[in-house]
Each structure stands twice: as structure tokens, then as C-alpha cells.
Amino acid sequence: MAVAEFHWHVPADHPAFAGHFPGRPIVPGVVLLDRAIRCAEDTLGRPGVNWQVGNAKFFSPVGPDETLTFSLTPKPSGAIAFTVRAADRDVAAGSLTPPAP
């Protein structure tokens, strides 16, 4: 069960679309990871943490004007598992690990 959920509407004019890919704009995976990290920082109230990506899988491309739901679940290890969905499809999943305190 997710502890926190965040929604992000992908703006059609997001700068990443300029070169990724001409004629078929797709949100780069690194942008999805950046959003997941921002959500984790909000969940823990720890901005500016140097998160490590434990793993990440990308299942479905995301285009302009889609609304994504980021669901985060803290793990006993301190890591945060995340999933990303757009409407009725899985987009990405993975885990983030903060550095040791």
C-alpha cells in the first residue's frame, strides 16, 4: 500500500520534448526518475538528498499532456519503492535509496 501519492500533469511544452524524440515526443526516463525523487523528498521532508536509484524499470512511454500518478512506499531498509501510472497503465517502477545519515 502506498504511503504517498503525487500527481503530475506532463506539460506539452516540457523542454525535454525538444529532442526526445522529434515527431514523437516521449518523456525521458531521467525526467520520471527526477519526479520520483522530488516526491520522495516531499514524503520524507528531506530536500537536497543525494538519492541513489536502486533499480528502475520503464514499461510504457509517456507523451505530452498525460497525467501521471507517483505512488511511494517506504521500506524498512530506508529505501522508497515507487510506481508510476498513467490512466490504466503502468509506466515505471523502482526504488530509491537515501545516503546513510
CATH number at residue 21: 3.10.129.10
What are 39-94's pLDDT values in tens digits?
988 887 877 778 899 999 999 999 999 999 999 999 998 899 999 999 999 999 99
Would the pLDDT of 100 be above 80? Answer: no
pLDDT at 50: 87
Of 67, 53, 34, the C-alpha closest to 98 is: 53
Kind and range of the H or E element at 85?
strand 80-86
Residue type, 82: F
Based on the structure, what is the number of domains in the chain?
A: 1
Instruction: State the pLDDT at residue 84.
Output: 98
Task: Look up the domain containing 64 and give its range.
Answer: 4-97
Quick one: pLDDT at residue 19? Answer: 85
Integer Cα distance of 28 and 35 in angstroms: 11
- Which among 39, 49, 33, 51 has a CA at the least distance from the CA of 4? 39
**What's the average model confidence in pLDDT over 11-40?**
93
Mean pLDDT in residue range 16-32 = 92
Give the residue with greater pLDDT, 20 vs 65.
65
CA 56/CA 58 separation, integer angstroms: 7
